A and B are shown apart, each in its own frame.
Chain A
């Protein structure tokens, strides 16, 4: 799931940004590792001007500039952290598609797992009561039959 970078037109769009066509440029790096990092970073940095595009896909002027800058920084052997710092110093956390874990984003990152834990605990409680309760199964089938009879009558009417 590394390169999920598509877009899909779920609803219809009247006003696409005028530059919605794919940005295809040629960047050469001397080694494969840098090519891969370029791909990853351009996919995870958000174009500040665009509606909601990363700088890899966007054809906006600023996205081109940022790609060019990124290439320069990679060729100059800057680390990913340096590059991310460079970008956020200028454009803020807005450019990070992967939000940093801070007090502000704590709920975002851990909320889902917390919710999952709570929900599973509730399931645990429910099933515990349900599996403990001893009732006459015989009666239960009878009730089921009554229900079915009721349904039949309703649907027949």
Chain B
């Protein structure tokens, strides 16, 4: 009964999404305020019914209702309770329901927090979001219902959740990621609403900014969590593979980053209006494209969903309508008139434009590399692969150039900045970062290494320029505290996010160059030395887990004489699906991780043991978290809540 309520509730939600798409929009056409107002209650109803549906699926999981096919395929009576709940989004259908829940959740949030918006604008925004939900809920209902039953006979127990997903990572990573993907629908809806209304002043940018920043922050956090999860869970000790599914999340993030910046320019200076609109459309389009790539089976990925051409076709049609429609609208409605604002070569506008070029080109590079095998194949050129060597070769130079620009940008003002002032601000940090970058590989490593030089110099360059900029704020301040309070949240957010970029860059550089990795044959009592640490293998014992059995190794790590850690990597066997799993154990540290994983048992009681030394690997995720935090902090800016707006002067405009 409960699953049927879930399905029925989803159908009701679908009806409300249709009403939401039509009624308020129609209200704006016939100028009927009452109809426009309906948007808010429909957004509520839509969210409520998707929520009910979601709870019903959760109930089916919690009560082990294996007559529901989706539950039977993704759960098991032995599965620990927390994974039973996260298993809701452990497969295609349920994760799509989560997507719908988050989408209607964002719609609800817009209807609640945007009371200050002109009524017709809010009505249009909600309607556009309703149109997007129509697509997703219809997708669920037509091709991917999670409530389908195994009837008349259903299995006595479930097929179990993939062991790799039985982890904390599954609980937090997908919701975060989807918050980001779907969050871009808000900026998209604002852009479409602006195009429809023809009111293409800077106002829409101001309204869309906080929403975009939050979505961007969630996506950053989602990607960071995913990287961290893969690192500890998969046993390979790596953190990014340029797999199509990863790329699918990176593309909207890169374009989203461009959007965050160009929205700032549009809001503050009224420039790049059409471009910003286009970026808002792009960011969400790439989220949708990612959905297609992940769920249609056109590309091979280690972590693709079970592919189904029928689903692929549905999403493709949906893409054609949404993206094709909005790009057509864009081409027709964007006005030809350019804004009157003037800016010089040495202005923040110019640098934001360059930043946007780099980010967009990077996103296009990822898109090209991801789809190239498909393009070649479609043109009859056979099968080729595009993998990490390609992406690293093309991506890294472009990324480095951009990072150099980032350092300059913080010293540059809107409209115009005298050259001597820029030079005065940057020559010291430039010199210092080049010198320290050049010396660093000699001190930390064993000799000069160009990538270390480049990575360290660039990271320092960013850190130094933003620190000096920050300090310069206090030059004429009477009191540090007053000044600290005076600086806006947008400013702090920007500082945090930019510092995050530097921290990530340090992590990438050092872990890529100075990692050490050895696969060693060990019997109990054997010792091995990796990166100055001594690893003693004490042997293996059998342990019984909740729904698995495991061989658990014991490895004692010594730093000279002192024991610094005892690591217990496991080789698990999950009996339901007959799956083997490598559960690595990690001694975490601020400056380095020691990562140990167990391979196969070898002849003579020996085991293949993988030992990694990963310097600064955690900085990747620290940096990612800083970026996400930066994005969130900007939202606390009073400007977005105060009804009276602060006049935009040169000095007050930081972000």
Contacts and interface: CB of A to CB of B under 8 A. Distances in A.
Interface of A: 1-18, 20-27, 39, 43-44, 46, 50-54, 57, 92-99, 104-105, 107-109, 111-113, 115-116, 119-120, 122-123, 126-127, 130-131, 133-135, 137, 140, 143-145, 147-148, 150-152, 154-157
B361 A119 contact: yes
A10 B345 contact: no
B371 to A, nearest CB: 10
Contacts of B513: 2
Interface string B235-274: 1111111111110110000000000000000000011000
Given A8-B241, A24-B600, A145 B645 contact: no
Contacts of A148: 645, 647-648
B327 interface: no
B579 interface: yes
B467 interface: no
A59 to B, nearest CB: 8
A14 to B, nearest CB: 4
A8 B608 CA distance: 24
A24, A51, A94 interface centre (most CB from chain B within 10 Å):
A24
B38 interface: no
Given A1-B508, A131-B344, A9 B600 contact: no
Contacts of A156: 116, 643
Given A11-B245, A119-B361, A1 B647 contact: no
Given A26-B521, A144-B648, 7 more contacts: A2-B513, A4-B239, A8-B243, A9-B230, A11-B248, A116-B358, A131-B345
Q: How large is the interface on B (under 10, 10 to 19, 20 to 34, 35 or more residues)?
A: 35 or more
Contact of A39 (B234, B361, B517): B517
Residue picked from A2, A20, A50, A133, most chain B C-beta under 10 Å = A20
A53 B302 contact: yes
User: B interface, by DSSP: helix, strand, loop or mixed?
Assistant: mixed
A112 B361 contact: yes
B545 interface: no
B27 interface: no
Given A4-B240, A51-B301, A11 B231 contact: no
Contacts of B243: 7-8, 10, 52
Contacts of A155: 116-117, 643, 645
B350 A127 contact: yes
B173 interface: yes
A17 B301 CA distance: 10
A149 B357 CA distance: 33
B438 interface: no
Interface string B194-206: 0000000111001
- Those 8 A-B pairs whose CB atoms lie nearest each other, nearest first: A6-B238, A24-B599, A97-B387, A8-B230, A22-B235, A98-B389, A14-B91, A112-B365
Given A3-B512, A9-B169, A52 B240 contact: no
A99 B116 CA distance: 53
Contacts of B372: 99, 105, 108
A99 B643 contact: no
A154 B206 CA distance: 12
B364 interface: yes
A22 to B, nearest CB: 3
B143 to A, nearest CB: 15
Contact of A26 (B116, B340, B520, B577): B520
Contacts of A17: 302
B647 A145 contact: yes
A45 B150 CA distance: 42
B389 A10 contact: no
B343 to A, nearest CB: 5
Contact of A109 (B237, B394, B396): B394
Contacts of A44: 387-389
Contacts of A2: 392, 512-513
Nearest to A157: B118
A7 B243 CA distance: 7
B519 interface: yes
